[in-house]
Every structure is written in C-alpha cells, then in structure tokens.
Amino acid sequence: MCGIVGYIGNNAVAEELINGLKNLEYRGYDSAGVALNDNKNIDIFKAKGKLCNLCDVLNLHQKDLQNSTGGIGHIRWATHGSPTVENAHPHCSADGKLVLVHNGIIENYKELREELVKEGFAFVSQTDTETAVHLIDRTYRQTHSLEEAVLNAVKRLKGAFAFCIMHKDEPDKIIAVRKNAPLIVGLGDNENFIASDIPAVIGKVKKIIYLDDAEMAIVSKNKVEIKNFNGQLLDKKAELISFSAETISKRGYKHFMLKEICEQPDIIRNILAQRMSDVNNQIQLPQVNWNEILKKSKVEIIACGTSLHAAMVAKYFMEDLLGIPVHVEAASEYIYRKTVTDENTLTIGISQSGETADTITAVKQAQDKNAHILILTNRPDSSIVRYADSLIPLEAGIEVSVAATKSYTAQLISLYLLTLAWAERKESLTVRLQKLKQELLEIPAKLEEILSNENCIKKCSELFQKYKSFIYIARGINLPTAMEGALKLKEISYINASGYAAGELKHGPIALLDENMPVLAVLIPGTPTYDKILSNCEEAKARQAHLIAVTSSHDEHLNTIFDEIIQIPFSDEVFSPVLANVPLQLLAYHIADNLGREVDQPRNLAKSVTVE
C-alpha cells in the first residue's frame, strides 16, 4: 500500500506534506514525491528510496517553496512499475497543469491506457496511476472544471483508488476521492489536510471526516464539501481523533517495534478490563451477534501472514473448547479454491490493518455464500469492516512498525475471549472455563516478567546473530508460534528462518542440520508432546545443531541439550503461545538491530498489502 497526503493553508506546504508522509512511512518507502501549487505553477519533486531522499531534494529548492498555497504528496510501495523516479508519484498531465497521487490499484488500467494512447496521450511511466491523470485531463480540457472532470473519470475506473488531485488553474482547492482505499480529511483552522490514515494528521487537527466509498471531497483552506460520485452534496459528520500524539512517537525507544513489544502487557490489561471486568460475569463482546453465531456448526478463519498464525493458534483451542470444526486458510489460497462455505459457517476474517486485499476479497466471497462474517481488526475504520456482520476491535492502538507484534498478541487474546464467551453461552460456566478466565487475567503480569528478562534474550541474540539460517520447531498449539517466530526473524533481519512441526524434522528438514543451522524449540512441560519434542531436540543435537529452548520447564536435563534456555512463566498450554511468542519477538528484534537493519521499515515490505 502507499500513503497519500494533501495540505491547503497558510503554513509551509512542503513542510506539512513531509510531516504527513513521515507518519505514513510504514505504508511503503520505495519512493516519495510532492507537488506544490503557488498559484502560478505546480512544481513536482520526487526521489527514489526513503523519504529522507525527497527531503534532500526539497532542501536544494528551499527558496522556490515559500509561496506554495497547497500541495499533495505520496509515499510508495511499488505495485506497477519498479521504484524509479519516473514511476514515483505525483503523476501529471502532458501540460503539467494537472497532478495526482494515488493509493490502490486501477484494475482496468491497461484498456484505458490503450484507449488514451490511441487518442495521442503520451505515457512517461509504467504505472496504473498515470492512466487516471490522463483520463481526468481529457475531460478537463473540455469542461475546465476539475470537479466535473474527476466525477467523469472515476466512473470509468475499476479497482481501488484514493486520490488527491490538483490543477494549476484551480489553485484554491484539492480534490480527494475514495473508492476501496482509505482516505480522511483533517479539519483545521483556516487550513485543511487530506491523508490515507490518521497518523498523518495526529497533532495537527482534532477533527476528521472519514470519506466512505464513492465519495469525493472538494477541500479548500476554509471549506470542505463532500459529494457522492453523482455530484450530490452529502452531510458528513466530523469525528474527534481518539489517538494522541504519543501514538506516533517512539517515547524514548530506539524503534517503534521495541516500543510496541513493551506495550503489550498494558494493552492486554486494557482489553481484559473492557471485555472481562469480572470473571463471574459473561465476557462482553458488544458488537458480536451471538444469536447468529450460536447457530453455526462450523468455523473458517481466513487471514495472511502473522494474522494467519493467530488463526492457526485459535483452531487448537476453539476445537478443544467448542467441539466445532475450525478450518484455517491463507486468504490468498481461499480465494481460488472451491470452498464449502455456506449459511452454517462462521467466517472469521483477521486483519490488523483491515486493508489487506487478499483477506478482504476472501471475506467478500464468504459473505456471498451467506456465511456470518466476524471481523477482528485493529482498525475499525478500515475497508474490511464494511463486510462485518459481527466485529471485535483489537484495541491495540495504532501499530506503526511494519512487523506485527502487539496486534498479534491482541489477536490471540481476542480469539481466546471469543472462544470463552462462546463456550459460556453454549453451556453453563464450567470449572475449566472459570479457571481459564482467571488465568487469562494473569497474562499481563507474565508478559511483564518475560520483558524483564530482555537482557538474557539480548545476550542470546548476540550469540546467534552470525547464523545465516534458523529452524524453529514446536508441536501442537505452538506450531504457529514457531512459524510466527521464524517470520519475525526473516522479515526484519533478512536471515532465512523456517517454522516446522517438530515431528516433521526427521522427514526431510533434518538434512539441513549441522553446526551452522541453529534450532530453536518451543516446549511446554506437562503437555502430551513435551517428551516427544525433547527427543527431536536431541536428534538435532546429535547433528551438531546449536539449540535454543523457549520453555517454562526448569528441568536440569535441558542444560545437557540446549546451548541457550529462555525461560517463560508457566501457564495452561492454551495460553502458552502468547507467552512463548514474546521472547521470539525480542530475539528477532535484537538480532535485526545488531545487524543494523531498518527494523521498523524492512526492505520490500509495507504495513499492509493492499494488492492481491
């Protein structure tokens, strides 16, 4: 996904745009650009790579920037066309008078491009976005009304698009358009902002307007009009921003990722306080339609990446506590499979950002098959919520670092709460349910205990940062923990890591083992598989692999097998994924930081993948 911003007002426009883009860098950082309108000209500045490169370009033109009255900006995660300056946004019309920035994908851009090329329009980039510029310009040349030209063009576009558009001859306005990609308008005092997401305007405005799909905003310094794609004026209410400036500050941490790892105990404490104030009362999930859910005979959970790992953990305890079949699948696979989803299905879509294209498409398909759609997301204002029949907001606070950490833990807690709430509505509160609810309340303190052990994990990271590959193993409910730990390591340190079922090691991966392939094992005592996984670790030891254990066991024998042992507090196996995952987050973080990686903005990644 990309980030777009617009500013119109009396402040230094370039500065306001760069500030907004800085707070949207988690959305992509392949290239960046701004267009500035000073009532005489529109000047475009672009740079490949990080936003700081664009700042360097702007610093060379300081004197030219003083008279701008409005501008638009863009930060890119490349979809169509490599991250070159030519493909960077803003894109402009042939006469340089009309400029546009875009987040999303124009699915029918090829046919439109052919149509425009036949009419003599020359393209200078490989992007889908440039099609929109020439489409709007074609009408503008006849109507000389930017609003009319935009309304005409959007009717031809298919796919997802959030635009900010400016024209040299209409310097008093910026037009913003939303369809299947988020966009907000920040309402200031004699100035107004447009942005893909709230972090861009935190600390700048107190009130925002969320554009809904097929809506356009005509934004000037002291007026904002919202219209639908038929040009009818809409009466949209402004909402107060609930996030503070602290949300987008590192608060003294070196990286957002470390801040967000350390926030987890308080976030879980807040979630539990909201949802389960008293273990003797039913768990409160006010936006869940229990009448519908209690009728369902099967569950499918669809997600991507880290959210998919949360879904995999949920399968174990949902089937255990509810006795209902739970199918878990990557959204990108679900979309292209002939599924058996029907009116008896509860389809759970998990997405931190709520903008992941694969998950949204999959959820839409399930809804078309009459499933009941329950969405778990950290962004109740996101696109996926449009398809929710029931909703569980994660309440984890904005997650800035590209690597998902606190949102994963919040997903697990929310899935535990959903399952326990379902179980206590299906039957009276059994002793086991009561015990599990009580133990859930103890998790924040146990997370704090793990975080207090960070130096041990940091030492472990120094010992193991030299390796080029890792294997993570676990069994049962912690198999997804191994997979998530491996994903965290590879996505921020660029070290290859794979998560395997420990029982599968001997069926192939064991061929990889030698003194250069460390094995990290998650093992929980008192479980049916503890002895088995210990044997797997001994098999790995026999092949000279160096071993790390993440365990709540204090068995002395472990010292004869493992080179490093990372202790976690004891818990019921059901909750062990929450506890075992945090050391893996910290291990990945410290290895990546030791290697000097861009921890919060790893190469090639973006916080949400809004393309299939």
Instruction: Report, as residue numbers or ranges, the catalytic residues.
Output: 2, 607
Q: How far apart are CA 510 and CA 539, in angstroms?
A: 9
Span interacting with ligand AGP, options 135-143, 276-284, 396-404, 502-510, rule CB under 6 A: 396-404
Verify binding: residue 576, ligand AGP, rule CB under 6 A: no
Q: How far is the CB of 363 from ligand AGP (least distance, A)?
A: 11
Q: How many residues does the chain have?
A: 612
Closest to ligand AGP by CB, 513 vs 582, is 582
Span interacting with ligand AGP, options 108-116, 278-286, 299-307, 363-371, rule CB under 6 A: 299-307
Specify which residues 567 forms β-bridges with: 551
Verify binding: residue 352, ligand AGP, rule CB under 6 A: yes
- List phi, psi (to 5°) of 159: 115, -145
Q: Which residues, other chains included, contact 294 with Cβ-Cβ below 8 Å and sequence gap of 6+?
A: 422, 425, 426
Question: How many residues bind ligand AGP, per CB under 6 A?
Answer: 15
Verify binding: residue 347, ligand AGP, rule CB under 6 A: no
Closest to ligand AGP by CB, 136 vs 302, is 302
Q: How far apart are CA 101 and CA 27, in angstroms?
A: 14
Span interacting with ligand AGP, options 305-313, 420-428, 461-469, 509-517, rule CB under 6 A: 305-313
Span interacting with ligand AGP, options 82-90, 272-280, 337-345, 397-405, rule CB under 6 A: 397-405
DSSP string for residues in 491-552: HHH--EEEEEEGGGGGGTGGGG-STTS-EEEEE-TTSTTHHHHHHHHHHHHTTT--EEEEES
Q: How far apart are CA 248 and CA 492, in angstroms?
A: 20
Which of 410, 390, 420 is CA-nearest to residue 307?
Answer: 410
Verify binding: residue 349, ligand AGP, rule CB under 6 A: no
Verify binding: residue 305, ligand AGP, rule CB under 6 A: yes
> Angle 13-22/51-59 helices, nearest 10 degrees?
170
Closest to ligand AGP by CB, 380 vs 569, is 380
Span interacting with ligand AGP, options 37-45, 345-353, 445-453, 516-524, rule CB under 6 A: 345-353
Closest to ligand AGP by CB, 106 vs 331, is 331
**Tokens in use for 395?**
């309440």
Which of 221, 224, 242 is CA-nearest to residue 233?
Answer: 224
Verify binding: residue 481, ligand AGP, rule CB under 6 A: no
DSSP string for residues in 549-570: EEES---GGGGGT-SEEEE---
Q: How far is the CB of 109 from ligand AGP (least distance, A)?
A: 24
Q: How far apart are CA 149 and CA 428, in angstroms?
A: 62
Indicate the residue whose CB is closest to ligand AGP. Answer: 305
Residues 482-541 that bind ligand AGP (CB under 6 A): 491
Q: Indicate which single residue of 87, 125, 481, 608 sits in contact with ligand AGP (rule: CB under 6 A).
A: 608
Q: Indicate which single residue of 201, 304, 313, 558 sits in contact with ligand AGP (rule: CB under 6 A).
A: 304
Q: Indicate which single residue of 136, 150, 183, 404 sits in contact with ligand AGP (rule: CB under 6 A).
A: 404
Q: How far is the CB of 599 from ligand AGP (least distance, A)?
A: 12
* Strand pairing category for 372-377 and 390-393: parallel
Verify binding: residue 365, ligand AGP, rule CB under 6 A: no
Q: How far is the CB of 578 from ligand AGP (least distance, A)?
A: 16
Q: How far is the CB of 602 from ligand AGP (least distance, A)?
A: 9
Q: How far apart are CA 122 and CA 378, in angstroms?
A: 42
DSSP state at residue 378: S
**Sheet strand arrangement including 469-474:** 496-501, 469-474, 519-523, 547-551, 564-567
Interacting residues toward ligand AGP by CB under 6 A: 304-307, 351-353, 356, 359, 402-404, 491, 608-609
